[in-house]
Amino acid sequence: MTVKPLSSLAKYKSFDGPVVAIVMDGVGIGPENENNGVYSAYTPMLDSLLREQLATRLKAHGSAVGLPSEKDMGNSEVGHNALGAGRVFAQGAKLVNIAIDTGNVFTGKSWQKVMERGLAGGTVHFIGLLSDGNVHSHIDQLYALIDECAKTGIEKVRIHVLLDGRDVGQKSAMNYIDPLEKRLESLSVDGRDYRIASGGGRMVTTMDRYNADWQVVENGWKAHVLGVGRSFSSASEAVGTYYTEDPEMTDQYMESFVINNSSGPVGRIEDGDTVIFFNFRGDRAIEISKAFEDEDFSAFNRQRTPDVFFAGMMQYDGDALIPKNYLVEPPLIENTLGEYLCGAGITSYAISETQKFGHVTYFWNGNKSGYIDEQLEEYVEIPSDKVTFDIRPWMKAAEITDKVVETIESGRYKFIRLNYANSDMVGHTGVVPAVRIAVETVDLCLHRLLSAVEKAGGIAAITADHGNADCMWTTKNEQKTPMVAHTLNPVPFVIKDFNGKNNFELTFIENPGLANVASTLCVLLGFEPPVEYEPSLVAISLQ
């Protein structure tokens, strides 16, 4: 790590307390109506904060976080990248779209290796989220890869579909499976054999993250690699059967399934094959990548490990080099806020529960694992509950608050950052009473936390990474449908200054976004922001 030293801010008066950055994950500012879980919840602390003099709104989607269009919802990964990097980088979907549009993805070493194996007779397998949610993946990108396989002359392709129901409608699987099955059928001519081989809901098949529940990955391994799972003749039959058997079933929790014919599974992964994990987002791609690549793997019994060439759409962990092979280069994010603060000797503390721990560490630090400087930093993970979050909507907010209050009282750290995951993770369940409880839990914890910041004479900066709980359902033909995806709403940004030594005022930037937060934190800590950063949301008043 080599960064230019930060300069001290003129006329800044130091104070003993910490600067505490609080990310209320999934708390957006939406219309004031009953389907807004933030507005309809009892939130006296948040209501009070939004009336503060140093309060504004930040854009947290689309171009503000490096996504292709203003129709693209933000997410926690790109949100925390922007918060920690201080500027906007082209992100996942946009990077992949550029690589496909230019053809660069098909000229890289990894794709050439895929084609080499496929032309030698190996099956090319694609595993990933079948969706146009544009958060983890996009079906159009899968189509482009499949079409290129056909154009190149690959004879056998298998798709292992992970059903979404989270970043898109809860029961929208057939919107993607039906056109995919038709496309594969149209390509299965001139000796080609392209078909879906297995699948399952994203929350029970393959897409675990942060080592929360390896059983999810094992379920995927059994279906994709071993061909073990409930048998169906097609993916559309599988989805239709599950819907009929359990009308309350939603896509993300659908049991794993395997497509069989008279000879058995149509698409087990075998020696000599190629596997591409086509998600571009990293958090839920790392564990399955390790299952394919790690020689000393021990998270579960793989039973057999076929000799395959495995590649990700992107490299999901640049420090740990996971996976070793990938189709599209990830954004190179250097000179993060964490690097600058360590260079300035600032002590830092980061904490969240498992579901968002990587966001206040890995993503905040520019997609880099581990500490920047262990002598100056401490990262704390509170293990998340292994249940659906509507059952325990309070999650680990109280435990996080306990730890942060204790840390504030210790006086050891000048900069503290934390993430309350409740409003996002519970928002994804679509269970209205649970969403409101989640929002109210965060509000109650904010009250405790800000009391500790006040007692220490510090400063709190409260924001969110994207919206979610601010829209709980949509209505069509007088029928309510749970809205479980992120929103396009702005998020709050509030500074609560409890020491008053510096007369901060808003700078009134036009269309501010999450990338403006890093410079703002620099100013609150007494430093001139790096010249490459987006400008600060506050300045010290000259009056």
pLDDT of 113 > 80? The answer is yes
pLDDT of 85 > 70? The answer is yes
Q: Are 227 and 267 in contact (CB under 8 A)?
A: yes
- Whether 19-89+333-540 and 93-328 share one fold: the answer is no
Q: Could you tell me the CA-to-CA distances from 32 to 40, 209, 267, 363, 485 in Å, in that order?
A: 8, 34, 50, 32, 19
At 132 the pLDDT is 95
- Give catalytic residues, as residue numbers: 76
At 318 the pLDDT is 63
Question: Residues 374-415: pLDDT tens digits?
Answer: 999 999 999 999 899 999 999 999 999 999 999 999 999 999
SS3 256: coil
Burial of 277 (0-12, 13-18, 19+ CB in 10 A): buried
Question: Residues 213-225: pLDDT tens digits?
Answer: 999 999 999 999 9
Q: Given pLDDT bands bounded at 50, 70 and 90, which one contains residue 1?
A: low
What is the pLDDT averaged over residues 105-122? 97
pLDDT of 417 > 90? The answer is yes
Q: Are 314 and 327 in contact (CB under 8 A)?
A: yes
What residues contact 295, with CB distance under 8 A and at least 6 apart?
A: none
Q: Does the structural domain 93-328 have CATH classification 3.40.1450.10?
A: yes
What is the pLDDT averaged over residues 290-305? 97
pTM over 0.85: no
What's the CATH number for 19-89+333-540?
A: 3.40.720.10
Read off the tokens for 319: 């420090």
What is the pLDDT averaged over residues 185-214? 95
Q: Given pLDDT bands bounded at 50, 70 and 90, which one contains residue 367?
A: confident
| Between residues 106 and 482, the one the model is more confident about | 106
Hey, what long-range contacts does 235-239 have (CB within 8 A, 24 or more apart)?
235/161, 235/177, 235/180, 235/181, 235/196, 235/199, 235/259, 236/174, 236/177, 236/178, 236/181, 238/199, 239/163, 239/173, 239/174, 239/177
Question: Residues 236-250: pLDDT tens digits?
Answer: 999 999 999 999 999
Q: Count other Cβ atoms within 10 Å, centred on residue 463.
A: 24
Q: Given pLDDT bands bounded at 50, 70 and 90, which one contains residue 297?
A: very high
What ranges make up the beta strands (E) of 96-202?
Answer: 124-130, 156-163, 193-201
Q: How would you label 386-412 residue by residue, b for 16+ Cβ within 10 Å and e otherwise?
A: eebbbebbbbbbeebbebbbebbeeee
What is the pLDDT averaged over residues 429-440? 96
d(CA 504, CA 166) in angstroms, rounded, equals 40
H or E element that contains 177 = helix 174-187
d(CA 101, CA 117) in angstroms, rounded, equals 24
Helix 139-152 vs helix 174-187: crossing angle, to nearest 10: 10
Read off the tokens for 297: 């793997």
pLDDT of 320 > 80? The answer is no
| Mean pLDDT taken over the chain | 95
**Residue percentage of the chain with pLDDT more than 70:** 99
Helices marked H in 195-298:
214-221, 235-245, 286-293
Read off the tokens for 157: 């392709």
Q: Given pLDDT bands bounded at 50, 70 and 90, which one contains residue 332?
A: confident
63 phi, psi to nearest 5 deg: -65, -20
At 319 the pLDDT is 55
Read off the tokens for 97: 């779209």
Q: Given pLDDT bands bounded at 50, 70 and 90, which one contains residue 304?
A: very high
pLDDT of 185 > 80? The answer is yes
Q: Given pLDDT bands bounded at 50, 70 and 90, which one contains residue 316?
A: confident
- 247: preceding bond cis by omega (within 30 degrees): no
d(CA 224, CA 417) in angstroms, rounded, equals 39
At 221 the pLDDT is 98
Q: Given pLDDT bands bounded at 50, 70 and 90, which one contains residue 270?
A: very high
Question: Residues 125-153: pLDDT tens digits?
Answer: 999 999 999 989 999 999 999 999 999 99
Q: Where are the domains of the chain?
A: 19-89+333-540, 93-328
pLDDT of 209 > 90? The answer is no
Q: Could you tell me the CA-to-CA distances from 138 to 179, 329, 402, 455, 515 in Å, in that order?
A: 14, 17, 40, 48, 25
Q: Which sign does the torsion angle of CA 89, 92, 93, 96 carry?
A: positive
